[in-house]
Structure 1
Amino acid sequence: MKRQEISVEKLLGIIEEKDRRIAELEQQVQWFMEQMRLSKRKQFGVSSEQTKIEQINLFNNEEEETHNLAITEQERIEVKAHYRKRTRLTTDKLPEDLPVEVIEHKLPEKECICLECGSELHTMGKETRDELKIIPAKAVIVRHIRHVYSCRNCEETSDHTSIVKADIPEPVIKGSFASPETIAHIATQKFMMGSPLYRQEQEWKQNGIEISRQTMSNWLIKACENWLEPIYEEMKKRLCEHEVLHADETVVQVLKEPGKAAQSKSYMWLYRTSGEAKHQIILYDYQPDRKHIHPEEFLKEFSGYLHADGYSVYYKLPEKITVVGCWAHVRRKFFDAMEALPKEKQAMSNAAKGVAYCDKLFHLEKQFALLCPENRLKEREKQSKPIIDEFYDWIRKLNVLPKTHLGKAVQYAQYQRKYLERYMLNGRLEISNNRAERSIKPFVIGRKNWLFSNTPSGARASAVYYSLVETAKENGLNPFEYLSWIFSQAPNLGKPGYVSTFADFLPGGMKIPAKVFIPQSKRTEPEKYAWEEDE
């Protein structure tokens, strides 16, 4: 009997161990299936994270009253149903201020005879068709001839002859044939249009102009060191005078960085003003690593609120800087957890409910957009605060495994709570750090084209050029015209007819000429994430 009892105990132990192992393997299979679904969505699915608030009823079928504080609801008028022919909608439009080249097509004079009676034909009407004609860029040589004057009488009668030279503007780079427009064109092609220097080299060659990519690189770096870096420093001073900023960072590869392998990561940090600033400033800062000393050094003169993601280095900044969390990152984690589930389980999942809570907060922020900061803060306390409290009560009661996508989303939200709630401290603060993410996006897109920087000096120059280009775009300036104006004015700083200080080049400066500004009708709104748009 004893032997039989021992064997049963062993058998039960084996069964228990196998059950435990089966449960563990099932969790692993579930985790791998989630990873596969997320990978498929990222590779083949749409990148949009758009959802509808109505997907999840947060308030247990209670009627929800939402007051639009930005726009008064117009009276609804019922109209009779009607049908119309479907037409293709397009936003293509030709500018009205373009010069028009008119080509008239007429019958030859001998053919202007009526085939019926032989009388002369007359023009009874005209048919018009517009075409957009593209004229490729045209290069010219600007030859500066400086006249030198002397006195004939002194040459004949005196041992001293005075020589007078006509005024001539200083070149952007001494000893080079690069003009302000040439360097501005190369810079905007690379840092705005994402065209690498080797492609520009081929384009120049197609026009019969032999300029190597190395020469273009040297021009960009030299012009940056001489004229753009002082402007960058002035912009940095002006940036740190604001009380609300945004920050973000992304990787960049630098091939010839001392003490590092070519495959190692360097970082491009971004700092920018918030929506409350009258004149926007966007600055990139190249650094060899991602340590906290870099934002601490860059922001040493700054005191106020800093919007950031959940990266821990921002929490090591001095106490004079209050870090504000990003609800968009919370939403993204719940959204990924929802997308990792089978489609039939997504709509009613806890992950979808987490997304709906975040969507509700963003929906309220849209309605508060036109309010003054004081009233916006009051409405947040009245409407947003209860939703945040309810959200955290809900996730506190969730029983989820920590290593699942939903578990990671819950952990992130709990760990970030005190930072996420700080946007309630001031009406000028924003609910997310999307403003910084949008500003760093042009650099990420450009990086896909030019791939890497060759040297640290090239990476630093890239940071400065991106700073001026993106700041110009944000303030309604034409980047090409803006850089051309800088490169023509800066070498002649302080001369009559030129600007007197580098601070005059900053957006909002009174001496920026009208041709640098983009007409209001041609300005484009900054790109938004799909789920930020109105439903």
Structure 2
Amino acid sequence: MKTGYFWPVYGDRDEIAFPFAPTRGHRVVVDLLEGYANTLVTDGYGAYEKYAERTNGLVHGQCWAHARRKFVEAEGSEPELCGRVLDRITMLYEHEATIGDWEDAKRQAYRGEHAKPVVDAIFEELKRAFEDRILLPRSPFTQAANYALEREAALRVFLDHPRVPVDTNAVERQIRPVAVGRKNWLFCCVPQAHWGWNQDGSIRLWKAVEKMTVGPSKSVVRNRLQTTPSGWH
């Protein structure tokens, strides 16, 4: 049995794809995104950072939900410091909830007035923690703080780009069924498997149907998938 990886890609029109690769190497990112130099929002995985560094014109934002998760995990070691950071991240999300579907100029103005001071306070808090305390390098809080500080520029991108989201939660929600059922995908992406097509294709089709407002119902598509001959491509 071999390990493989989905590299979900979520578009600005809610389209989604689930490319599959046997590795998490940087080459996969290059193959997937080669020639793309617009806006990219990712988690903190280093392969994306390398691609961004080598791609002129690419705007690379990173995910506040992933940064927040680090402080949640570190809260037991530094409850007071982590608590203040987490409270401010909560404020950040409250401001994002207020924005909703506002037009770009209004979104950017609101973020500049309300979200930017919160972001500034978070990074000031983290930098001050290193100045005022002796923090062990392997402390969970140190690791969480370094994760955020090393990505400060990318975590600030949403402040200057009104259509950039604060996190990658949209794609995280789409990939969750795969993560939940990974032990059940016995024939995932195996050539000539009994499905006759790979998991990427089936997931993309199902997610597309979920987003449809017109057309065949989910039950119709489910029935068609279940009755498709194994040799169909």
TMscore range, shorter length: 0.7 to 0.9
**Residues 461 and 451 of structure 1, relative CA distance in 2, 3 Å threshold:** closer
Q: After the TM superposition, which residues 17-36 of structure 1 pair with which residues of structure 2 at under 5 Å, given as runs?
A: none
User: Which of the numbers 207, 228, 233 marks the counterpart of 1:470?
Assistant: 207
Is the contact between residue 334 and residue 406 of structure 1 (CA under 8 Å) also seen in structure 2? yes
| Partner Cα distance (2:139, 2:149) in 1 | 15
Shift of 1:414: 0.4
Residues 153-202 of structure 1, C-alpha deviation per residue, up to 9 Å, x if partnerless?
Answer: xxxxxxxxxxxxxxxxxxxxxxxxxxxxxxxxxxxxxxxxxxxxxxxxxx
Equivalent residue number for residue 394 of structure 1: 125
* Deviations, residues 344-388 of structure 1 (Å, cap 9, x unaligned): x84xx1111111111111111001113212200111111111111
- How far residue 456 of structure 1 moved from its aligned partner, in angstroms, is 4.9
Distance in 2 between the 1:457 and 1:361 partners?
48
User: Are residues 1:314 and 2:48 paired?
Assistant: yes
Residue 370 of structure 1: aligned partner: 101
The amino acid of 1:272's aligned partner reads Y
Distance in 2 of aligned mates of 1:296 and 1:454: 21
* Equivalent residue, structure 2, for 1:481: 220
Residues 268 and 284 in structure 1, CA contact (< 8 A), matched pair in contact too: yes
CA spacing shift, 1:390–1:303, aligned 2, 3 Å = same
* 1:332 aligns to 2:66 (yes or no): no
Query: Which of 420, 423, 427 is matched with 2:158 structurally?
Result: 423
Q: Indicate conservation of the 8 Å contact 2:5/2:23, yes or no.
A: yes
Pairwise mapping of residues 14-413 of structure 1 onto structure 2 (< 5 A)?
255=1, 262=2, 265-274=3-12, 277=13, 280-317=14-51, 318-338=55-75, 340-341=76-77, 346=79, 349-398=80-129, 399=133, 400-413=135-148
Instruction: Please say which structure displays the higher CA radius of gyration.
Output: 1
Structure 1 residues 456, 418: closer, same or farther in 2, change over 3 A? farther
Q: Contact conserved, 1:305 with 1:321, CA < 8 A, in 2? A: yes
> What one-letter code is carried by the residue in structure 2 that aligns with 1:406?
F
Q: Which structure shows the higher helix fraction?
A: 2
Shift of 1:292: 1.7
In structure 1, distance between residues paired with 2:189 and 2:101: 46
TM-fit CA distance, 1:435: 0.8
Task: Find out whether 1:441 has 2:176 as its counterpart.
Answer: yes
- Note closer, same or farther for the CA distance 1:409–1:449 as it changes in structure 2 (3 Å cut): same
Q: Secondary structure at the match of 1:323?
A: strand
The C-alpha deviation readout for 1:59-83, integer Å capped at 9, x for no partner, is xxxxxxxxxxxxxxxxxxxxxxxxx
**TM-score normalised to the size of structure 1?**
0.38
Provide the C-alpha distance between the structure 1 equivalents of 2:9 and 2:160, rounded to a whole number of angstroms.
21
Cα offset, 1:437, TM superposition: 0.7
Does the CA contact (< 8 Å) of 2:188 and 2:198 recur in 1? no
CA contact (8 A) 1:269 1:287 kept: yes
> 1:324 & 1:391 partners in 2: Cα distance?
17
Deviation for aligned residue 1:406: 0.6
Distance in 1 between the 2:204 and 2:145 partners?
A: 36
Query: Can you list the C-alpha shifts for 1:26-82, whole angstroms capped at 9, x where unaligned?
Result: xxxxxxxxxxxxxxxxxxxxxxxxxxxxxxxxxxxxxxxxxxxxxxxxxxxxxxxxx
Contact 1:402 1:411 (8 Å CA) reproduced: no
After TM superposition, give the deviation of residue 302 of structure 1 in Å: 3.0
Deviations 1:480-503 (A, max 9, x none): 534749x99xxxxxxxxxxxxxxx
- Residue type of the partner of 2:4? S
Q: Distance in 1 between matches of 2:113 and 2:7?
A: 36
TM superposition shift of 1:294: 1.5
**Cα distance between partner residues in 1 of 2:151 and 2:87:** 18
Amino acid at match of 2:60: V
CA contact (8 A) 1:304 1:321 kept: yes
C-alpha RMSD over aligned residues = 2.5
Residue identity over aligned pairs, in percent, reads 23
1:407 aligned partner, one-letter code:
T
**Residues 334 and 409, structure 1, Cα contact 8 Å, conserved in 2:** yes
**What is the CA distance between 1:465 and its match in structure 2?**
0.7
Amino acid at match of 1:358: I
**Residues 107-149 of structure 1 deviation map (CA, whole Å, 9 limit, x = unaligned):** xxxxxxxxxxxxxxxxxxxxxxxxxxxxxxxxxxxxxxxxxxx
Give the SS at the match of 2:83.
helix
Q: Which runs of 5+ in 1 are unaligned?
A: 1-254, 256-261, 489-535
1:457–1:404 CA distance, 2 compared to 1 (3 A): farther
1:451 Cα deviation from its structure 2 partner: 5.0
2:231 is aligned to none
Contact 2:189–2:198 at 8 Å: present in 1 too?
Answer: no
Number of equivalences: 215
* Structure 1 counterpart SS, 2:69: helix
What TM-score, normalized to structure 2?
0.83
